[in-house]
Structure 1
């Protein structure tokens, strides 16, 4: 596997009908247009990816949206960075090795 799926188990977490029912249904419902809101308006570019609006384990059709590759990458990057910073702020500060 390469690209964004490299080292990820995310594909295994998707339901069995993801590619045959859910993904095509969402793309058709959203008319293959990106639904990411930029300055209050939908992006509107051609969408070829499906994103979870809230919980990544909530696969209901109404909790999915079509996104273009750029908006999906930007959203995923924001979420990943937020998760890393949350981890960083919960760890106790380490003592400097010279002060031990």
Structure 2
């Protein structure tokens, strides 16, 4: 594995027919990046399929074609948000007998 898959077990969570789903999404989106920012769609050649809402919802309406650059940006933002969510959790209170 290389790139975004390095050190990830995410691939094991994909359905057995993922190659077919992936090809269908890329075809549906015309192999064009659907990343939208400031009202503009990227439109570069897309080689990757992204889950719009993270998780295991592999329905076509939750999938979009993205170029490698924008998929990396989106994945990085999601990973950072998840790490910050954990950090923002209130720490466990110390037992009064240990204070």
TM-score over 0.5 for the alignment? Answer: yes
Deviation per CA, 1:33-90, whole angstroms, max 9, x where unpaired?
0001021121101100000111421000121000000100000000000000000010
Partner residue, 1:18: 18
Partner residue, 2:96: none
Query: CA RMSD, aligned part only?
Result: 1.9
Report whether the alignment pairs 1:34 with 2:69.
no
What are the ranges of 5 or more consecutive residues in structure 1 without an aligned counterpart? 94-99
* Aligned structure 1 segments of 4 or more residues deviating by more than 2 angstroms: none
**What is the TM-score normalised by the length of structure 1?**
0.86
CA distance in 2, matches of 1:72, 1:6: 15
Alignment of 1:1-100 (within 5 A): 1-19=1-19, 21-92=20-91
User: Could you tell me how far 1:11 is from its partner in structure 2?
Assistant: 0.3
